[in-house]
Structure 1
Amino acid sequence: MTYPMSDLSQHKFTAEDFKEGQVLLFDKPLEWTSFQLVNKVRWLIRSHCNIKKIKVGHAGTLDPLATGLLIICTGKFTKRIEEFMGQEKRYTGTFSLGATTPSYDLETAVDKTYPIDQITDTQIEKATEDFTGDIDQYPPVFSALKKDGKRLYEYARNQEEVEIPSRRVNISYFKITKVAMPEVEFEVACSKGTYIRSLAHDFGKALQSGAHLSSLRRTKIGTFEVENAFDIEAFIQTLPPKKDLS
């Protein structure tokens, strides 16, 4: 069962609830990894419900510099993770034009700058058309994808060259919501496997300039919305009093 924030004041979880399976909606904080949030939730469940072991997993990684909706499944519902990962996702965020970074976001420092005075609002709006529908996209080299048993970011950090194959993704909706140069705010709906960092990088190239992702928030996964997600403190209020596992 899924419990959104609006229902939390009406519900108290039990150990059996988590074992049978729950779909929990969380608003991931900035600078937390998805795994850190999962580990925190697992620890809270174990310590408050006196459970030695409990399956807990998330349905779709968010980068540390992104915030927003993260689906966390427990118990028997961890079998549904692949189902949730396959659903369309919606994001809002900001591209910063005129500069690129090796990671395509703010994880690494700017490595190149480009002129932006020649870019018009009309060109920005039109560029979205190049990235709507089925497109081929190259994942960022600073990503957790594996090649030959090694994660891409390991190659990048060791300054090793690596050939990254493109992948076909679908962007069903891409809209520019605000232009305040050098920043461009956007909203996008896309398929599993889409990298918004790569979209930012490619968007800059389409404008014959450069760009990187400077903010990102996931607002929706399938029918699940971040407005119905809750934070750690709210989740704690749904749990029994903490117990000592020692």
Structure 2
Amino acid sequence: MSRRNAKGRGINGIVLLDKDTGLSSNAALQKVKRLFFAKKAGHTGALDPLASGILPICLGQATKVAGFLLNDNKRYFVRGQLGQTTNTLDCEGEITATKNFEQLSKTQVMEAALSFQGNIEQVPPMYSALKKDGQPLYKLARQGIEIERKARSVTLHKLDFLGYENGVISLEVSCSKGTYIRSLIADIGDKLGCGAHVIELRRTGFAHIDITQAIKFADLEALAGDDFERLDANIFKSEDLLPNVHNVAIDQQQGIDIRYGRKIKVENQADNLVKMFDENAVFLGIGQIENGYLQPKRLFV
């Protein structure tokens, strides 16, 4: 069977793509899937087309851990333009209001930005993938429909003020899952009384991953070959990208039970989400310990 007619390769693991601006997360996913000739692929933590930076692409069985990757903290570099509000909260939208910002000092802008560090309540933007009755909010927004969104608790673990010049504020943000950087910039603009929107956004970190570990699609293309050897060297093991999930080793009989979906008794283990490894140190998947029993949640075998 030729490569063209085959259904794809059964490869497993995660590619840390450094997504370019102007490309949707799904478009980036499809390009990587085709390049690696993978049977199955999915992404975690979608990035707006405007945004660049780390986009983990899960191949094969690694798609089973996508949801767990989403729970990790993220880091961003962002630049926001004061004085203009847009309907999308970024520079791709239509300007809805313009106000003066020239009277603001660098100190005022810095103090307003840093006031958001810590635990805050944030209203998700209409232009987001959140759903209302099964319909993504961005699709409703494109129809001119706006619905009430409840504020959600998020945490800005660290907010570094990098500078302010000619109405443009630059920040580095380390935040919890579910944080919208576009909403943060808009809220800073509201606090300053002039409005603001994002003009540049780059995801520079994901859990323990740094942007230096990610690779551009053009660089992946340059490694493509018939044997896939150089391409596959850029695939990370799923278990290596979940450093905050505790490891649990199980014996041969327990491994059999887990593979059949049965829960097993474990000693001296706190209730927690865990990575399961068999007697040969083979990664079996994700499990959940509750009341002294380990129950499989996502199996790789």
Q: 1:28 aligned to 2:13? A: no
* 1:56-75 deviations in Å (ceiling 9; x for gaps): 11111000000111111111
Rg bigger for which structure? 2
Structure 1 counterpart of 2:143: 158
- Contact 1:20–1:77 (CA<8 Å) still a contact in 2? no
TM value normalised by structure 1: 0.84
Shift of 1:181: 2.1
SS of residue matched to 1:70: strand
- Contact 2:19–2:217 (CA<8 Å) still a contact in 1? no
* Counterpart among 33, 36, 44 of residue 35 in structure 2: 44
- Contact 2:100–2:194 (CA<8 Å) still a contact in 1? yes
Shift of 1:236: 3.1
SS of residue matched to 1:19: coil
RMSD (Å), alpha carbons: 1.9
Structure 2 counterpart of 1:3: none
Which protein, 1 or 2, shows the higher relative CO under an 8 Å CA cutoff with sep ≥ 6?
Answer: 1
* Counterpart among 55, 72, 79 of residue 40 in structure 2: 55
Larger deviation, residues 196-205 vs 115-124: 115-124
Unpaired runs of 5+ in structure 1? Answer: 1-17
Amino acid of the structure 2 residue aligned with 1:117: E
The percentage of aligned residue pairs carrying the same residue is 37
Shift of 1:242: 8.1
Distance 2:217 2:11 in 1: 21
SS of residue matched to 1:141: coil
Structure with more of its chain in helix, by fraction = 1
Amino acid of the structure 2 residue aligned with 1:121: K
Shift of 1:123: 1.2
* Counterpart among 108, 131, 145 of residue 130 in structure 2: 145
* Counterpart among 107, 120, 135 of residue 122 in structure 1: 107
Aligned residues: 221
TM value normalised by structure 2: 0.70
Q: 1:106 aligned to 2:91? A: yes
- Contact 1:67–1:216 (CA<8 Å) still a contact in 2? yes
Distance 1:170 1:198 in 2: 13
Shift of 1:168: 0.9
Q: 1:191 aligned to 2:182? A: no
Q: 1:213 aligned to 2:198? A: yes
Unpaired runs of 5+ in structure 2? Answer: 1-8, 229-301
SS of residue matched to 2:26: helix
